[in-house]
Amino acid sequence: MELYFLGTNAGVPSLERNVTSVALRMLEERRSFWLFDCGEGTQHQILRSPLKLSKLEKIFITHLHGDHLFGLPGLISSRAYQGGEDPLTIYGPRGLKQYIHTSLELSESHISYSLDIVEHDGGVLFEDDSFRVEASLLEHRVASYGYRITEKDLPGKLDTATMESYGIRPGPLYGKLKRGESVEAPDGRILHASEVQGKPKKGRIITILGDTRPCGSVLPLARDADVLVHESTFLHEMKDTAHTYFHSTARQAAEAAREAGAKRLFLTHLSSRYKYEDQIMQLEREAQEIFPDAVIAREHVLYGIERTSGS
């Protein structure tokens, strides 16, 4: 899994940064990627990235402010022209369905693939054998959600030497043992999965928050996350402004990461007032004073999400 930031600016695009969008690339896990928010210009950013719209499987919208969803109509319309034929599911707050349907209807856009729009009020939104996605309401001027993506634990490595001693060769019996089942060896002996299966590989947790000021929902969403993506609109010297406009400072994002026991923190949704590199690094340094593993999210950089050592 990897994160790829397509937009990290707050409110409006700037010459340095586009408005909010981040991709979670899961080529090994699902042969697809998921998109979190879709600010204006996101499809142009994707064209300049290693991502392919044909591989886009799901979009999660945090809230209905323009800098987080104005890119949706164009991206939805263009996806088929870039090979996107598989179904696409979009999750977001109530009102999202009306926005998308009205945009597509008035522009007479015709979608050739299956489009499913799921409006929600939080809770578990998606779950299969590999992943679980849940959402919680944050504290912003409109309903804004944070998403917690949990990769389920993977089976441990099989002890092939022991299986060979039972006369078991690669094939269907391997699959049964990996699923935790017992099998009968060619000589009639029973081999239990617990005898040959190593410790499960712990799944990763990624938390991606929408716009918010500090609130009680952040901690459970970010608890023990391998990666936390947190808005950091202002330096802490502007904490009163941040509170008034329902945003967070870099320091507050770092405090949330530390309290939640997260492993890495990406700072995004930066105010346009921070144009120059020394200003950007000031935001990063402020966060690192509280949480050393905090970095500014850079656009068009692929960030690997490694498994925790020993997991």
Contact by Cβ (8 Å): 25, 4 = yes
243 is in an annotated binding site: no
Of 67, 129, 159, 224, catalytic = 67
Q: Give the position of tokens 């930031």.
A: 5
Give me Rg for the CA atoms of the chain. Answer: 22
3-state secondary structure at position 138: coil
44 is in an annotated binding site: no
The Cα-based distances of 285 to 112, 152, 170, 277 in angstroms read 47, 34, 52, 12
Note the helical H segments in the chain.
27-30, 42-47, 66-69, 72-79, 96-106, 160-165, 172-178, 193-196, 218-222, 239-244, 250-260, 277-288
Q: Give the position of tokens 């009968």.
A: 184
DSSP class of residue 141?
A: S
110 is in an annotated binding site: no
Contact by Cβ (8 Å): 74, 43 = yes
The verdict on whether 67 is a catalytic residue reads yes
240 is in an annotated binding site: no
63 is in an annotated binding site: yes
140 is in an annotated binding site: yes
- Report d(CA 250, CA 254) in Å as an integer: 6
Task: Answer left, alpha or beta for residue 213, where phi above 0 means left and psi between -120 and 50 means alpha.
Answer: beta
187 is in an annotated binding site: no
Mode of pairing for the β-strands spanning 145-151 and 2-7: unpaired
Task: HSE, CB side, 13 Å, CA atoms: give it for residue 162.
Answer: 15
| Binding positions | 63, 65, 67-68, 140, 211, 269
| Binding positions for Zn(2+) | 63, 65, 67-68, 140, 211, 269
Residues acting as catalytic residues: 67
